[in-house]
């Protein structure tokens, strides 16, 4: 099935692209997708501790099962002021 | 049990608010009507909503990059009372983003410089600068007499303290944070929307570089949310997280949910 993954800020820099269209297996969980992405993009793995996820514009824990046409967003929470 | 003590604090808070409101409530002056005419004339705004801003009491926590932008716009908009708190002194490296200050302020207390700047911008509002570090021991005392808190802090340890105090007292919290070219903002309405601990259970990156204009962008988004809240216009970021990327000019608006086991606002903490 096809899904879209969007990257923001430092995560976008780590991947070198703003978004990726991907084909993934039925029944894949969001956290499994993250493991796959971190395998493909080592710089993304370095940011794994500082990553917030959303699925179809809703905050996501990683446990969600992906569906055809889903849109995932990956971004860093920030601290400065 | 906690609910009972929260009610007690709420009563103290209400008493402090009514004592303030006796001094500031009332019709807008002719000068107010002219001063704020460009926003009063916004469709659906009007003099009544401007009067609500005049009665509002807001604490800006942190007088840095976010706090400079947020507080200046809140003062310009006619928020009746602004309490601004920061325990630092102005440094040369602050000046790329902290537009409260100029070179002549280096070495001076941020709180008193910020107070002076806000008063010079708008003599018709009340302003108080407080040089104090926000701690678990003083947070409730510091915020109990305000109607809203704007989180313009630069670290999550203090953000959690302010978040917890706001949840305890039922006071809305307008969060903002930034890093390099990006930032985030969300509005916390206690007992209704997710709080900071629901969404960020672990503190993010430490000490970060920031482009000044990005701090200004996020700070003014926070100010917009505060003004809308007091004007009775639903804050668009209540229960939502705005992620802003100023390098590529993209953003994402994410719907948030309260976390049941949140140590601050979780349902299991309410009885």
The CATH number assigned to the domain holding A18 equals 3.10.20.30
Give me the pLDDT at residue B268, please.
64
pLDDT class of B269 with cuts at 50, 70, 90: low
Asked if residue B88 lies in contact with residue B98, where contact means CB atoms within 8 angstroms, the answer is no
Asked if residue B97 lies in contact with residue B215, where contact means CB atoms within 8 angstroms, the answer is yes
Q: Any idea where the domains of chain B sit in the sequence?
A: 2-269
Q: Which residues of A touch B177 (CB under 8 A)?
A: 77-81
Bridge partners (DSSP) of residue B173 are: B149, B188
ipTM of the complex in this document: 0.86
Q: Which residues of chain B are at the A interface, by a Cβ-Cβ cutoff of 8 Å? A: 62, 64-67, 152-156, 176-184, 194, 199-200, 202-210, 215, 241, 243, 245, 247-248, 250, 252-257
Q: What's phi and psi for A25, nearest 5 deg?
A: -75, 145
pLDDT greater than 50 at residue B3: no
Residue A81 lies in a domain: no
Q: What's phi and psi for B185, nearest 5 deg?
A: -150, 145
Q: Which residues of B touch A54 (CB under 8 A)?
A: 252, 254
The whole-angstrom separation of Cα A12 and Cα B68 is 29
Give me the pLDDT at residue B14, please.
47
The whole-angstrom separation of Cα A47 and Cα A49 is 6
Q: What is the residue range of A41's domain?
A: 2-75
pLDDT greater than 70 at residue B235: yes
Residue A30 lies in a domain: yes
| pLDDT tens digits for range A35-75 | 999 999 999 998 888 889 999 999 999 999 999 999 999 98
| pLDDT tens digits for range B105-163 | 999 999 999 999 999 999 999 999 999 999 999 999 999 999 999 999 999 999 999 99
The hierarchical CATH code for the domain B2-269 is: 3.40.50.720
Residue A44 lies in a domain: yes
Task: Note whether A54 contacts B252, CB cutoff 8 Å.
Answer: yes
Residue A80 lies in a domain: no
Residue A34 lies in a domain: yes
Question: What 3-state class would DSSP assign to B105?
Answer: helix
Please give the tally of structural domains in chain A.
Answer: 1
Question: What 3-state class would DSSP assign to B141?
Answer: helix
Give me the pLDDT at residue A5, please.
97
| pLDDT tens digits for range A8-37 | 888 998 999 999 999 999 999 999 999 999
Give me the pLDDT at residue B134, please.
98
């Amino acid at each position: 099935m096809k899904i879209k993954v969007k990257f923001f800020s430092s995560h976008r820099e780590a991947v070198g692209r703003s978004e990726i269209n991907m084909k993934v297996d039925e029944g894949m969980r969001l956290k499994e997708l993250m493991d796959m992405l971190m395998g493909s993009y080592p710089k993304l793995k370095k940011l794994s501790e500082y990553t917030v996820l959303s699925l179809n514009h809703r905050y996501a824990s990683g446990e969600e099962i992906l569906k055809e046409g889903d849109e995932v967003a990956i971004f860093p929470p920030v601290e400065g002021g | 049990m906690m609910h009972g003590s929260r009610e007690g604090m709420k009563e103290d808070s209400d008493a402090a608010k009514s004592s303030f409101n006796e001094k500031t409530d009332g019709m807008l002056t002719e000068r107010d009507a002219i001063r704020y005419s460009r926003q009063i004339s916004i469709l659906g705004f009007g003099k009544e909503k401007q009067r609500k801003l005049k009665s509002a009491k807001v604490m800006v926590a942190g007088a840095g990059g976010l706090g400079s932008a947020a507080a200046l716009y809140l003062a310009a908009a006619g928020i009746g009372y602004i309490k601004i708190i920061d325990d630092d002194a102005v440094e040369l490296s602050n000046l790329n983003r902290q537009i409260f200050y100029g070179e002549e302020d280096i070495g001076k207390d941020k709180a008193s410089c910020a107070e002076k700047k806000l008063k010079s911008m708008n003599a018709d509002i009340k302003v108080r600068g407080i040089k104090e570090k926000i701690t678990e021991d003083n947070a409730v005392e510091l915020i109990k007499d305000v109607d809203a808190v704007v989180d313009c802090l630069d670290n999550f340890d203090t953000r959690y303290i302010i978040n917890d105090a706001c949840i305890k007292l039922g006071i809305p919290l307008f969060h903002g944070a930034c890093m390099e070219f990006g930032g985030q903002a969300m509005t916390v309405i206690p007992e209704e929307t997710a709080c900071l601990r629901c969404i960020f259970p672990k503190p993010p990156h430490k000490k970060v570089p920031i482009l000044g204009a990005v701090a200004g962008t996020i700070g003014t988004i926070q100010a917009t949310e505060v003004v809308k809240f007091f004007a009775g216009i639903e804050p668009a970021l209540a229960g939502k997280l705005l992620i802003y990327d100023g390098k590529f000019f993209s953003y994402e608006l994410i719907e948030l949910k309260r976390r049941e086991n949140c140590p601050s606002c979780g349902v299991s903490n309410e009885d």
